[in-house]
Structure 1
Amino acid sequence: MKPTKIYFHGVLRPGEAGHYLYSTTGYAHPDAVRLPWSIYDLDGGLVWNAGALNVRGLSCWRSRPTLGPSVQGHAALRYKGGWTALAWHDYTGDERGGSNSAVLAEGTLGFQEMLDAFARHFTTQFERQPQMVLRHEDPRPCG
């Protein structure tokens, strides 16, 4: 399945400050896009706390420094409101602790489909990634 809408959240070019949401044609404002996840979810909420339960009792990522390091390329796949999110720990554009990126696509896509869509629509950002490893997939909303 090829997504009709796809976005990248993260650092577009290494060395640029900030994690933002981008469409295939440039910057996209999160409120205008109407994604099922908030900007706070996109900025770390989809990839943190894997394997543990969050305050709502949902399984989420856990990788806080006291519980173990976040590892470049460790990814989580999320589904919510007809969208799929592939989120991962990403230090290729920002080396600060807890840095992460996400690709969001309309529809229900699997891990390989999300990687293929990422490579097709955000080639430069995809090519700077070392291998991604799916560490968690949960159809329940997280964040």
Structure 2
Amino acid sequence: MSTLKSPRTLKFVLPLLALTVVAVTTFAFKSKSDAAPAKAFSNTYVYEFTGDASIQSQVEDLSRWQYNASGSSCLSIDAAKACTILVDAAHAANSTLSGSNLTITADNDKNAGYFRVIEAVDDDYAATPTNQPVTP
């Protein structure tokens, strides 16, 4: 093991050590908002609701959610109701969500009389539901 023998070596090593500590501390406490954004929706599948959104059991029925390769903006729907669910590749099923282990929970929008997806979960995974917003 070598020792620092001269003040000259010490002058060289201490600034490098200080720089390393500052760099590590900066990255360790960097907030998520400062971090680079993740790739948007990579390996994500869009399933579109095809049932009657005024019936809770249909919104919660996985077979009523059809795979839509082109995605959906939900803009053609004129009420606050279930529209799409974004599911990652590991939890996606075939043409419908009925092959997945997701559980959908729907809630009634009492103003419009339609059901919206509150959550779509599978143990520790949560899919991203997109409900049609209320249009003025």
- TM bucket (normalised to shorter chain) is under 0.3
| Structure having the higher Rg | 2
- TM-score by structure 1 length? 0.26
- TM-score by structure 2 length? 0.27
Which structure carries more relative contact order (alpha carbon 8 Å, separation 6+)? 1
